[in-house]
Amino acid sequence: MNAINPYLAIVFTNTKQNADELANYLATQGIKAGRIHGDLSPRERTRMMKQIRDLEYQYIVATDLAARGIDIPGVSHVVNYELPDDLEFFIHRVGRTARAGLEGIAITLYEPSEDDKIVQIEKMGIPFVHEDVKNGEWIEVKERNARKKRVKEVDELDRKAASFVRKPDKVKPGYKKKMAKDIEKFKKRERRLKRKNDK
């Protein structure tokens, strides 16, 4: 949060419980955050909206209720603390910033297990720049699919092992596992011999 210093940021969660937990956590870190979700009474919501308009908060923790129907002027940042289950809400969320000709930034926190959702959002025409925060500074990270695209380099030991461990003439179920085991055994033996010779 220190890395963004927003004029006004909406931090989106998927549930009312998560919104309350996050707002309470931020309070323990000295960050006073407003909250908007379905458990607020109409009176509480009116009071919260007045406090937001009076700039009493720099951060608002909200559920998707705030993505539609409630006008919050001056939102400079949107933070998706959680990706929505219905990805259409993603568009509504990020659409809360960069209004009336102003610029805005949308930040999405996600885990590797949510990569499919990111791909779906990109297919909706929303590009991502992958960054991380280190020591309060934004740094661009490698393309997130770099690991998948990485080609394993076959070193000299792998080639030697492959030439010594041959595929059997008559294959039986499980032969690939046995070959892999034999290759590993061969490579271990070769490494041991190399260490001995290096001494």
List the domains of the chain with CATH numbers. Answer: 9-143 (3.40.50.300), 156-198 (no CATH)
What distance in Å separates the CA atoms of residue 195 and residue 76, rounded to the nearest whole number? 59
- Quote the percentage of the chain above a pLDDT of 90: 40
pLDDT for residue 166: 74
Confidence (pTM): 0.70
Region 36-41: mean pLDDT is 90
pLDDT for residue 67: 65
Written as one letter, the residue type at 91 is I
Residue 77 has pLDDT above 90, yes or no: yes
Residue 108 has pLDDT above 90, yes or no: yes
Residue 156 has pLDDT above 90, yes or no: no
pLDDT for residue 134: 82
User: Confidence class of residue 61 from pLDDT cuts 50, 70 and 90?
Assistant: very high
Per residue in 86-102, pLDDT tens? 998 999 899 888 887 78
What distance in Å separates the CA atoms of residue 97 and residue 54, rounded to the nearest whole number? 18
Q: What percent helix, strand, coil does the chain show, rounded to 5?
A: 45, 15, 45
What distance in Å separates the CA atoms of residue 69 and residue 83, rounded to the nearest whole number? 20
Q: Which of 159, 160, 165, 163 is nearest to 180 (CA)?
A: 165
